[in-house]
Structure 1
Amino acid sequence: MKKIRLEIIGLSSSHSQIGHYALVLGESNGNRRLPIIIGGGEAQAIALELENIKTNRPMTHDLIYNLARHFDINLVEVIINDLHEGIFYARLIMELDGEIHEIDSRPSDAVAIGVRFKVPIYTYESVLSEAGIVIEDDEEGGGTLGSEDSDFSLAEIEKSDPMEDEDPVPPSPKKKATASSPASKKRELDRLQKELDKALEGEDYEKAAKLRDEINQLGGE
């Protein structure tokens, strides 16, 4: 199965889940974005490494990195390999004595460890086609972590209460969108698409992910 390289685009605070953040990953050679909701602790761990900020004592992901390096265990790559019932899954591809081992992981932890090893992050087309959001050229923005136009703030993360990301992606709408006729279905799709475009312009990736799910559900009827 063909792998697709992802880059970290940025982090933004969740509007509906206090203490959670949207980790936005972007297709390296494309215009699709993959937003994943993660906890504040994991967001902080990713941000600290990307901004090259060293803590006085090793945090959890630093400890994992130090243990692996001490025992000559190398991380080869991170793969966000599956999406099932609204939850992303990831694997750490490790190498020890020439043998490859795959370790199950939450995407937030996998990325936090991956940035410490400075290894590539991948996903599969099946995941990106289902959960990815297409960004038009004139909608590009938001920048990367640390850029002036990013809405990410490390201080903001530090003020939040770290929470476990039990649902690493926004939950699917409980009520499936329905339409009584082809005409009303088209009107509803047009309305949802306009809301999606507006959410993307405002870089509200969490809302955009929910709207994407509604559009997919309505379009599949």
Structure 2
Amino acid sequence: MSKIKLNVLGISYSQTQTGAYALVLTEEHGERRIPIIIGGFEAQAIAIQLEGLKPPRPLTHDLFLNFAMSFGVNLVEVNIYRLEEGVFYSKLICNNGGKDIVIDARTSDAIALALRFKCPIYTSEEILQKSGIVIDIQERSETKTKKAEPIDIEEKKTTSSPKSNKYKNLDIDALEELLAEAIKKEEYEKASIIQNEIKKRKSQ
């Protein structure tokens, strides 16, 4: 069975389940996207890595990375191999220097680990046919001209929100102080919003 490589496009609020998030994966050489519903904790773990935030203390997935590397175990790839009743099944392909080890994992955890180990994520054509969403013509054009940015996990259906508007009157120095404070307090959702505002200012 041929493998198709996937990339993490971003995270947004789920429009179908209250309190949940949609993790969006996209095929590397194609136009289909796979939305996967995940919980808030897993969304935060993925968003932290996408945004390049460094927590003051290791989180669960960071601990797994440190533990594995300390004992010479590397995560070689993540494989999303099955879709049943809306649930995606994944496995971790690990290597200890001598042989491959296959470990069953929730897809949300597998993606969070793949981002930390910087390993590829794969799926099959069958799963893409079942769950893949083809982007429309306008999105396709934008994708070719602009690299997709991680979707802020605080982003709602409206283009502006009170949580982001309150930072618009602050200068970059003040925003960077707030960012450092949010990271120190482990308020990662708030840190993500502030960091996006800083990036927006610096790109203008």
In the TM superposition, what are the counterparts of 1:68-107 in structure 2 within 5 Å? 68-107=68-107
Distance 2:36 2:16 in 1: 14
In the TM superposition, what are the counterparts of 1:1-221 in structure 2 within 5 Å? 1-140=1-140, 143-145=148-150, 150=151, 152-153=153-154, 158=189
Residue identity opposite 1:44 in structure 2: Q
Q: TM-score, normalised by structure 2?
A: 0.70
CA deviation after TM superposition for structure 1 residue 85, in Å: 1.7
User: Which string of whole-angstrom CA distances, capped at 9 and with x for unpartnered residues, describes residues 157-185 of structure 1?
Assistant: 748xxxxxxxxxxxxxxxxxxxxxxxxxx
* Structure 2 SS opposite 1:5: strand
Distance 2:33 2:63 in 1: 30
Residue identity opposite 1:100 in structure 2: D
Tell me if structure 1 keeps the 8 A contact 2:25–2:35.
yes
Tell me if structure 2 keeps the 8 A contact 1:92–1:105.
yes
Where in structure 1 are there 5+ consecutive unaligned residues?
160-221
CA deviation after TM superposition for structure 1 residue 139, in Å: 2.7
* Structure 1 SS opposite 2:8: strand
Tell me if structure 1 keeps the 8 A contact 2:83–2:89.
yes
User: Which string of whole-angstrom CA distances, capped at 9 and with x for unpartnered residues, describes residues 17-52 of structure 1?
Assistant: 232110000010000001000111111101111211
Distance 1:134 1:88 in 2: 19
Distance 1:4 1:60 in 2: 28
* Structure 2 SS opposite 1:77: strand
Distance 1:35 1:135 in 2: 12
* Structure 2 SS opposite 1:2: coil
Residue identity opposite 1:97 in structure 2: G
Where in structure 2 are there 5+ consecutive unaligned residues?
156-162, 165-187, 191-204
The alignment yields a C-alpha RMSD, in angstroms, of 2.1
4+ residue stretches of structure 1 with deviation over 6 A?
154-157
Equivalenced residue count is 155
Distance 1:52 1:45 in 2: 11
* Structure 1 SS opposite 2:16: coil
Q: Are residues 20 and 85 of structure 1, via their aligned partners in 2, closer, same or farther at CA, if it must alter by over 3 Å?
A: same
